[in-house]
């Protein structure tokens, strides 16, 4: 609490105090790093200590519907059927959502909710209702703040998935283009970026396994993956996660290192 949560909360409060306008806090890091838990703890502290109202949502909630991804997979590449990478989110809706939250003429709004256990968006009656303008927005997600790679870096496949399923590089080029254009526009709206830095990519697989085990225990839905499917699934994320591990420590406003045992290890304010 004293080493991590209180200093981060103070940093967010100080950022808000500058202009007393809604601030967008990006919280990013590989799957299973604890973004949702950290968001909830920060929300409680911001309310209890500084009386700041916080809205939390995830980039995951803006995944395109299963139907839309099926269409993409037929038109561009089979790999777009699997949610996760840039290109599988509704960027128009997401951009509008953040613009509205930052706008002085705030209009009450609904933020979508995505259910991973059914691999689809929930009906509008289940969406998050935001009735008044928040002071703080925590916008969390595995690829929040990611930047595009140079085209030459896309040539060599990074894993078996790219080697055998993306031989012509259509998928990775499209993902990269989306990052360069649509996603950059969204990430430029972030006021402060917090990066949860994992020791290496292999922990994404380990911690993703934990998440699925929780889903299995709760027995929700029918899209729960076995270990082999998870190993295949994380390959979709590998390229961008590794690129983020290289680039974000230099550009994020706050970098929190997470150790092999999943504990917050150190914090650095850039």
pTM, full prediction: 0.94
Could you tell me the two tokens for 243? 């690129």
Task: Output the DSSP codes for 128-164.
Answer: EEE-S--SEEEEEETTTT--PPPGGGGSS-SSHHHHH
Residues of the chain predicted below pLDDT 50: none
Q: Would you state the pLDDT for residue 220?
A: 60
Which residues are CB-contacts of 194 (< 8 A; sequence separation ≥ 6)?
A: 8, 25, 26, 27, 28, 252, 253, 254, 255, 256
> In the beta sheet, which residues pair with residue 187?
none
Cα–Cα dist 219/215, whole Å: 6
Could you tell me the two tokens for 176? 């990269």
Could you tell me the two tokens for 162? 């790219």
DSSP type of residue 149: P
Cα–Cα dist 167/27, whole Å: 33
Q: Would you state the pLDDT for residue 188?
A: 98
Q: Would you state the pLDDT for residue 32?
A: 80
> In the beta sheet, which residues pair with residue 269?
254
């Amino acid at each position: 609490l004293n080493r991590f949560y209180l200093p981060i909360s103070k940093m967010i409060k100080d950022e808000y105090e500058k202009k007393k306008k809604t601030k967008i806090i990006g919280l990013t890091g590989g799957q299973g790093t604890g973004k949702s838990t950290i968001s909830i703890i920060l929300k409680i502290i911001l309310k209890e200590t500084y009386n700041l109202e916080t809205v939390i949502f995830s980039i995951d909630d803006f995944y395109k519907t299963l139907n839309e991804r099926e269409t993409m997979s037929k038109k561009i590449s089979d790999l777009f059927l699997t949610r996760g990478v840039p290109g599988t989110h509704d960027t128009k809706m997401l951009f509008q959502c953040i613009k509205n939250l930052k706008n002085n003429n705030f209009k009450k709004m609904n933020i979508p909710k995505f259910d991973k256990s059914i691999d689809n968006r929930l009906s509008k009656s289940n969406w998050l209702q935001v009735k008044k303008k928040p002071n703080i927005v925590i916008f969390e997600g595995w690829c929040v703040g990611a930047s595009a790679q140079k085209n030459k870096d896309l040539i060599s496949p990074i894993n078996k998935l790219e080697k055998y399923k993306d031989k012509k590089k259509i998928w990775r080029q499209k993902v990269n283009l989306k990052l360069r254009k649509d996603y950059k526009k969204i990430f430029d709206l972030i006021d402060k970026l917090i990066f949860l830095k994992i020791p290496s990519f292999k922990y994404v697989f380990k911690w993703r396994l934990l998440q699925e085990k929780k889903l299995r225990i709760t027995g929700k839905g029918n899209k729960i993956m076995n270990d082999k499917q998870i190993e295949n699934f994380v390959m979709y994320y590998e390229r961008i996660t590794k690129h983020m591990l290289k680039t974000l420590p230099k550009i994020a406003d706050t970098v929190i290192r997470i150790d092999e045992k999943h504990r917050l290890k150190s914090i650095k304010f850039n």
